[in-house]
Chains A and B, each alone.
Chain A
């Protein structure tokens, strides 16, 4: 969306000297809502929108499980072979997620859901 022509915008809205203009432009662009709040129902986007939703939910679960595993490792409540097995599993999951993202042509930043006032899911 940064290819919108901004020339109509008045100049007097900037109230201080921001210094690094380029950096702000990049971050503001990224900070905007990453996805439309609902799946775009246009026919071409249907499959991709669905993939985004499903992969986002899988990613959420993966993160929750991983967080829990890390907490247990920190707390010392896991045996060595359990840690090993968990690590192998999460590594495989990570690779699988990358493959799925590639198949659907999705970037990391696209896997997110905006929950309105609650912020983003991930």
Chain B
């Protein structure tokens, strides 16, 4: 069994001196100009390790990916990806080669930065419950009253959402200018105004951090969380394997 950490460029580069899952050494499989970094595992061992989701496993995986990122370009693989054997891995590298090369080019010398913004709820998020309260005394209350309460609730929620979008776009604009790609979501939860990820040139990280500080001064009622640099998890393309009948070499 092969446990997979990342796809990288510079296949000739030496592997980091870190142990893989189950203490197994890291191995590298090369296909033309890309390498897959993995480690060998035993079936019960890997399953147990992975299924007991512990920070130490997560961090072990991440530390390997980040060590690789220090001296080469990396496409991080989602945690928990297990292949049967090296032949399977080779098939994937071969089948997806063009996509991997394109992704590696896109993220070359770039890092992912995470930004999340909290919107303090006092008076800014709609109270959900006025209609439910009515429902609790439903024997005395008319259907009409219920519907009108629901209507007010919905209208308030709409207004709130509108406000959130406007506020979020004010924040997003200066950040997007500093990035080459981004993902974002507004109001993932009522208090989480913005949840975003930015693909940024490494040299622009300092300016990006400065911009975050500027924004937190400009919006004193909001709370900003910025973490990173991360490997570009949000900026690689997802792939379907097509291993059936692809074992010809």
Contact = CB atoms under 8 A, between A and B. Distances in A.
A74 B53 CA distance: 49
A16 B147 contact: no
Given A15-B228, A18-B224, A88 B143 contact: yes
Nearest to B141: A91
A19 B215 CA distance: 14
Contacts of A4: 53-55
Contacts, number: 106
B118 A15 contact: no
B140 to A, nearest CB: 12
Contacts of B141: 91
Interface residues of B, number: 40
A69 interface: yes
Contact of A69 (B147, B192, B227): B147
A113 to B, nearest CB: 15
Contacts of A85: 143
Given A16-B213, A70-B154, A119-B185, A91 B227 contact: no
Contact of B138 (A23, A66, A91): A91
B189 interface: yes
Interface of A: 1, 4-9, 13-16, 18-20, 23-24, 27-28, 30-31, 66-67, 69-70, 73-74, 80, 83-91, 94-95, 119
